[in-house]
């Protein structure tokens, strides 16, 4: 297939494919799917070998968010019956993080609901970062606290944060259809603040809202321009009690095509399979490891994930290996660039935001050609997290 040969050649050279080529990946048929996965897998192996980085989410503050992101179970007005609690104390957060590290996680992602942190919140998270680093030697810490004000990224870095996550989620043209309480430009600004402070920038997307192929390509190209070290790819988890609860627009095949497109556009970037993989990829999750080089271990922010032990078995059975703490995730040219920016972190990992919130225009008239492959609703696979951070039960790590 000439298209795939071209995309592999460009990926091995870190050359940006054309928009038409990226759209063509999303338009491939199911009969061509294994060829697409094999081609993108060559690019993945060139830059990351067969390593899989494990990341672990700690939800520092759950629910009661004033923002109205339509996809999010923690949004303003959400009726989803999720755990709701205010800030975990530093020792509580450190204990939760230690469970993930013990399970093999190389990076801990600290996430808090809300528009963005106050200066007092930054102090609180800084203490948490210091506690985690003191008790878990060599662990990387990524913060995901919402929109940043001037100087906050620098303070987080001084406290020991390695990275900052803030997802674009969807294309600029459709952003206003899913959120009205902040703008796409606000999100871009926060990613740039993290970058400028020397933090490893992480920003990704959420798919599954019936968005057009053009919307998906738009947001991935915007991410390539922002040049984060990590791109988490979330798939909508349609929570009951949110505006998008009835949106089931993904099949395992479409998810794989989206991941392949992201890999071709961002060949040397840490691509993370984030929220929603268990819901939408299901038994085809192992195939995704040929496209991504990073996943979350265990549960997400407000939903249950696959058991941590099952994650490890899946990686081993698929012929991959868990990336060790002493290994630099990013290819050398990116690691050198990051070190030159003044950040001593290894690779970027990212927090998959509010785990699988979808980011297409709700009710948009722009329906993709792939909309014909709508999946059967699997509400049985959407389970609220009832263990780990914010509870007295052991986490699923």
Mean pLDDT computed over every residue of the chain? 88
**N-to-C CA span, the chain:** 41
Task: Specify whether the CB–CB gap between 87 and 125 falls below 8 A.
Answer: no
Instruction: Examine residue 134 and state whether it is found in any structural domain, yes or no.
Output: no
Instruction: Examine residue 264 and state whether it is found in any structural domain, yes or no.
Output: yes
Q: Which of 179-183, 226-230, 309-313 has the lowest mean pLDDT?
A: 179-183
Nearest-CA neighbor of 62 among 396, 384, 397? 384
Instruction: Examine residue 226 and state whether it is found in any structural domain, yes or no.
Output: yes
Task: Specify whether the CB–CB gap between 202 and 349 falls below 8 A.
Answer: yes
Instruction: Examine residue 262 and state whether it is found in any structural domain, yes or no.
Output: yes
The one-character DSSP state at 365 is: S
The one-character DSSP state at 209 is: S
Length of the chain (residues): 397
Instruction: Examine residue 211 and state whether it is found in any structural domain, yes or no.
Output: yes
- So what's the pLDDT on residue 66? 81
The one-character DSSP state at 129 is: H
Mean per-residue pLDDT, 200-210: 93
Decide if pLDDT at 256 tops 80: yes
Q: Which of 16-30, 123-137, 271-285, 350-364 has the lowest mean pLDDT?
A: 350-364
- Which CA distances in Å does 88 have to 131, 132, 156, 174, 291? 12, 13, 17, 34, 35
Q: Which of 164-168, 180-184, 370-374, 377-381 has the lowest mean pLDDT?
A: 370-374
Decide if pLDDT at 75 tops 50: yes
Crossing angle of helices 19-26 and 252-265, rounded to 10°: 160
Task: Give the model's confidence band at 342: pLDDT under 50 very low, under 70 low, under 90 confident, else very high.
Answer: low
Q: Which of 16-20, 234-238, 241-245 has the lowest mean pLDDT?
A: 241-245
- So what's the pLDDT on residue 71? 76
Chain centroid to CA 311: 16
Q: Which residue has the tokens 């057009």?
A: 212
Range of the domain at 311: 2-10+19-52+163-381
Task: Specify whether the CB–CB gap between 297 and 54 falls below 8 A.
Answer: yes
Q: Which of 20-34, 56-70, 283-297 has the lowest mean pLDDT?
A: 56-70
The one-character DSSP state at 175 is: G
- So what's the pLDDT on residue 224? 97
Nearest-CA neighbor of 71 among 360, 264, 350? 360
Structure tokens at 15: 């050359």
How large a percentage of the chain has pLDDT more than 90?
Answer: 67
Q: What's the predicted TM-score (pTM) here?
A: 0.89
User: Which residues are designated catalytic?
Assistant: 65, 69, 72, 109, 142, 202, 272
pLDDT, tens digit, for every residue of 324-335? 988 999 999 999
Sorted by sequence, the CB contacts under 8 Å of residue 31 that are 6+ apart come out as none
Decide if pLDDT at 363 tops 80: no
Task: Specify whether the CB–CB gap between 296 and 352 falls below 8 A.
Answer: yes
Decide if pLDDT at 368 tops 60: no
Instruction: Examine residue 103 and state whether it is found in any structural domain, yes or no.
Output: no
Mean per-residue pLDDT, 132-145: 94
Decide if pLDDT at 143 tops 70: yes
Characterize the bridge pairing of strands 163-165 and 140-144.
parallel
Task: Give the model's confidence band at 369: pLDDT under 50 very low, under 70 low, under 90 confident, else very high.
Answer: very low
Task: Give the model's confidence band at 209: pLDDT under 50 very low, under 70 low, under 90 confident, else very high.
Answer: confident
Task: Give the model's confidence band at 364: pLDDT under 50 very low, under 70 low, under 90 confident, else very high.
Answer: very low
Decide if pLDDT at 72 tops 80: no
- So what's the pLDDT on residue 373? 61
Work out whether the CA dihedral 88, 162, 315, 293 comes out positive or negative: positive
What's the number of domains the chain is made of?
1
Instruction: Kindly report the number of other CB atoms within 10 A of residue 24's CB atom.
Output: 18
Instruction: Examine residue 101 and state whether it is found in any structural domain, yes or no.
Output: no
SS3 for 157? helix
Q: What is the CATH number of the domain that holds 185?
A: 3.20.20.70
Characterize the bridge pairing of strands 205-207 and 200-202.
unpaired
Distance of alpha carbon 99 from alpha carbon 109, whole angstroms = 13
Decide if pLDDT at 100 tops 80: yes
Between 186 and 387, the higher pLDDT residue: 186
SS3 for 241? coil
Structure tokens at 290: 């040929």
Distance of alpha carbon 370 from alpha carbon 362, whole angstroms = 16
Instruction: Examine residue 34 and state whether it is found in any structural domain, yes or no.
Output: yes
Nearest-CA neighbor of 167 among 213, 235, 121? 235
């Amino acid at each position: 297939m000439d298209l795939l040969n071209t995309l592999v050649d460009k990926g091995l050279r870190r050359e940006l494919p054309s928009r038409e080529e990226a759209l063509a990946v999303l338009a491939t048929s199911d009969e061509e799917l294994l060829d697409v996965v094999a081609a993108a897998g060559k690019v993945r192996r060139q830059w990351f070998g067969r390593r899989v980085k494990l990341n672990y989410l700690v939800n520092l503050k759950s629910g009661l968010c004033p923002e109205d992101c339509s996809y999010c179970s923690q949004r303003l007005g959400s009726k989803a019956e999720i755990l709701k609690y205010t800030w975990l104390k530093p020792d509580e957060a450190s204990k939760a993080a230690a469970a993930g590290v013990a399970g093999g996680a190389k990076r801990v992602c600290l996430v808090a609901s809300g528009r963005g942190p106050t200066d007092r919140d930054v102090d609180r998270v800084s203490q948490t970062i210091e506690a985690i680093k003191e008790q878990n030697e060599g662990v990387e810490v990524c913060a995901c606290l919402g929109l940043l004000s001037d100087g906050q990224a620098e303070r987080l870095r001084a406290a020991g944060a390695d990275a900052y996550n803030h997802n674009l989620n969807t294309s600029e043209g459709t952003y206003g259809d899913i959120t009205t309480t902040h703008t796409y430009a606000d999100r871009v600004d926060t990613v740039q603040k993290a970058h400028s402070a020397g933090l490893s920038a992480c920003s990704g997307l959420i798919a599954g809202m019936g968005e057009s192929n053009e919307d998906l390509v738009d947001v991935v190209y915007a991410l390539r321009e922002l040049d984060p070290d990590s791109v988490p790819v979330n798939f909508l988890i349609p929570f009951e009690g949110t505006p998008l609860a009835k949106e089931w627009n993904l099949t395992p095949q479409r998810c794989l095509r989206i991941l392949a497109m992201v890999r071709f556009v961002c060949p040397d970037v840490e691509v993370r399979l984030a929220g929603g993989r268990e819901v939408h990829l299901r038994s085809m999750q192992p195939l995704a490891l040929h496209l991504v080089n990073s996943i979350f271990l265990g549960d997400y922010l407000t939903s249950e994930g696959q058991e941590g032990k099952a994650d490890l078995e899946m990686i081993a059975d698929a012929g991959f290996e868990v990336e060790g703490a002493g290994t630099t995730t990013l290819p050398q040219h990116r690691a050198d660039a990051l070190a030159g920016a003044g950040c001593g972190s290894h690779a970027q990992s990212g927090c998959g935001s509010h785990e699988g919130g979808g980011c297409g225009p709700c009710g948009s008239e722009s329906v993709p050609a792939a909309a014909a492959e709508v999946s059967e609703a699997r509400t049985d696979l959407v389970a609220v997290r009832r263990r780990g951070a914010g509870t007295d039960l052991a986490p699923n790590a």
